[in-house]
């Protein structure tokens, strides 16, 4: 689409950042997380390291360079350390020069030998783009390298520890099939043939893998009211944080909801349109109504899932009393997280990791193996309790959405 916007025959160009991870300085408050000990000495990395889980995400902040370029009239597309642009002659030479000037002014070190001046053919992220013929293809050299790697692997009698780890990561044939489906979608987007994905040889291979990689999915044990009651004995409900955990665990069980609906992965990733907010819970004297605007099956906002929770005033599991308690201990705005705590005067949401750590801690205290449970245990436990209470499967499915 980007090449089509400039028309057939437009010139493409590319610049590459040199060792881009090493150009990104780590926040001083996080340097202690990148340390290691060797021969009695401590060493710390002050710049980003290859292999970190968040390294690629942080590296995509080259979006800032793309933003600057767009404000200067240069259209570019960035992917990690690669920055590609396109324009019509004779403006392409000027755009290419401007991109180099911007990188220089930003203090970004460029890999000059990898730069590609304006041309009608360019390889970007391993794909060959041709603006004259308006085609996209896999570079033949790159394809040959991949085929050679596959051939070497099939004939290999030994492997490295890393290769062994990757091979053990695929515990079931379904995992391999998921990757193959992803490759098929990529081939379709690139306009390549996908006949090999429905070949008889592949089907035979997958059947063989099904036999070879026999895998029984591990199911987490359900959380019951008995377990939940034991949790309560080890929580100080007079403190805002413990009261919030108690309400979170109770809601997770009664609502049969997914963790993504209740808590964010990280504090800064809280999304009021996805996670439960205070304004999504309506309190009445005899019940509360919880409204989910987004779930795994409601991603377009085309409907709202409303679940009522009745009050049981004399029960320690009364959701109305429990929720009212956290609202009084932890006041928050209507668009704030439903399960939050106050830190330095700010209302901060409880994160998934905090919830998981607290769950494991309580399981250990009451003498249960935390490896047998997970956050999904609340969802399983809620569905099991509803079934035992005579709730129809369709109603359970609706609540679990």
Annotate 324-337 with b (16+ C-beta within 10 A) or e (fewer).
ebbeebbebeeebb
More confident residue, 347 or 168: 347
- Count the residues in the chain: 401
Question: Three-state SS for 167?
Answer: helix
The span from the CA of 75 to the CA of 1, in Å, is: 13
pLDDT of residue 1: 61
The span from the CA of 132 to the CA of 12, in Å, is: 11
For residue 325, pLDDT beyond 90 = yes
What fold does the segment set 2-138 form as a domain? Alpha-Beta Plaits (3.30.70)
pLDDT of residue 138: 73
Please state whether the predicted TM-score (pTM) of the whole model is above 0.75: no
Confidence band for 139, pLDDT divided at 50, 70 and 90: low
Number of C-beta neighbours around residue 365 at 10 A: 12
Q: In CATH, which of 1.10.443.10, 1.20.58.410, 3.40.190.80, 3.40.980.10 is domain 225-400? A: 1.10.443.10
pLDDT of residue 163: 67
The span from the CA of 225 to the CA of 229, in Å, is: 6
Please give the average per-residue pLDDT across 241-266, as a whole number. 92
For residue 168, pLDDT beyond 70 = no
Confidence band for 354, pLDDT divided at 50, 70 and 90: very high
- Could you tell me the residue ranges of all domains in the chain? 2-138, 158-212, 225-400
Edge-to-edge strands, sheet with 287-292: 281-283, 287-292, 305-310
For the stretch 292-302, pLDDT in tens is: 988 888 877 78
The span from the CA of 137 to the CA of 127, in Å, is: 6
**Closest CA relative to residue 243, chosen from 233, 253, 251, 235:** 235
Q: Do β-strands 35-38 and 305-310 pair in parallel, antiparallel, or remain unpaired?
A: unpaired
Half-sphere exposure of residue 96, counting CA atoms within 13 Å on the CB side? 19
For residue 76, pLDDT beyond 90 = no
Judge whether 366 and 226 are in contact, CB under 8 Å. Answer: no
Across the strands, what pairs with 15? Answer: 83
Give me the helices (H) in 194-301, please.
200-212, 225-233, 240-255, 259-262
Q: Determine the Cα angle at 379 with ends 376 and 382, to 5°.
A: 145
Residue 196's alpha-carbon distances to 175, 192, 200, 360, in angstroms, are 18, 11, 9, 46
For the stretch 204-229, pLDDT in tens is: 888 888 887 777 777 889 999 999 99
**Closest CA relative to residue 377, chosen from 361, 353, 360:** 360
pLDDT of residue 242: 93
**Closest CA relative to residue 261, chosen from 221, 223, 304:** 304
């Amino acid at each position: 689409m980007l090449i089509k916007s400039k028309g057939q025959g437009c010139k493409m160009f590319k610049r590459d950042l040199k060792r881009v991870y090493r150009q990104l300085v780590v926040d001083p408050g996080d340097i202690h997380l990148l340390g290691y000990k060797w021969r009695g000495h401590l060493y710390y990395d002050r710049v980003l390291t290859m292999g970190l889980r968040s390294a690629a995400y942080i590296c995509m902040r080259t979006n800032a360079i793309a933003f600057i370029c767009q404000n200067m009239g240069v259209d570019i597309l960035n992917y990690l350390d690669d920055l590609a642009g396109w324009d019509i002659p004779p403006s392409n030479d000027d755009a290419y020069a401007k991109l180099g000037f911007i990188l220089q002014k930003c203090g970004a070190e460029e890999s000059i030998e990898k730069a590609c001046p304006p041309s009608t053919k360019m390889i970007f992220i391993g794909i060959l783009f041709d603006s004259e013929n308006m085609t996209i293809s896999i570079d033949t050299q790159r394809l040959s390298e991949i085929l050679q790697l596959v051939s070497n692997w099939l004939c290999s009698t030994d492997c490295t520890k890393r290769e062994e780890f990757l091979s053990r990561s695929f515990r079931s044939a379904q995992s391999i099939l998921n990757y193959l489906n992803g490759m098929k979608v990529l081939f379709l987007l690139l306009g390549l043939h996908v006949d090999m994905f429905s070949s008889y040889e592949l089907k035979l291979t997958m059947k063989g893998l099904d036999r070879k990689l026999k895998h029984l999915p591990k199911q987490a044990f359900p959380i019951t009211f008995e377990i939940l009651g034991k949790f309560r004995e080890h929580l100080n409900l007079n403190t805002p944080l413990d009261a919030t955990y108690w309400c979170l665990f109770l809601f997770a069980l009664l609502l049969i909801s997914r963790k993504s609906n209740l808590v964010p992965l990280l504090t800064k990733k809280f999304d009021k349109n996805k996670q439960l907010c205070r304004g999504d819970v309506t309190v009445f004297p005899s019940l509360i109504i919880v409204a989910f605007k987004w779930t795994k099956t409601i991603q377009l906002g085309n409907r709202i899932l409303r679940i009522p929770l009745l009050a049981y005033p004399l029960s320690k599991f009364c959701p109305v009393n429990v929720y009212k308690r956290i609202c009084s201990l932890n006041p928050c705005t209507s668009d704030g997280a439903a399960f939050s705590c106050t830190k330095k005067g700010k209302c901060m949401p409880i994160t998934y990791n905090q919830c998981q750590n607290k769950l494991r801690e309580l399981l250990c205290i009451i003498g249960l193996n935390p490896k047998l449970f997970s956050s999904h245990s609340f969802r399983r436990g809620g569905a099991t309790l509803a079934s035992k209470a005579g709730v129809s499967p369709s109603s359970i499915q609706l609540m679990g959405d």
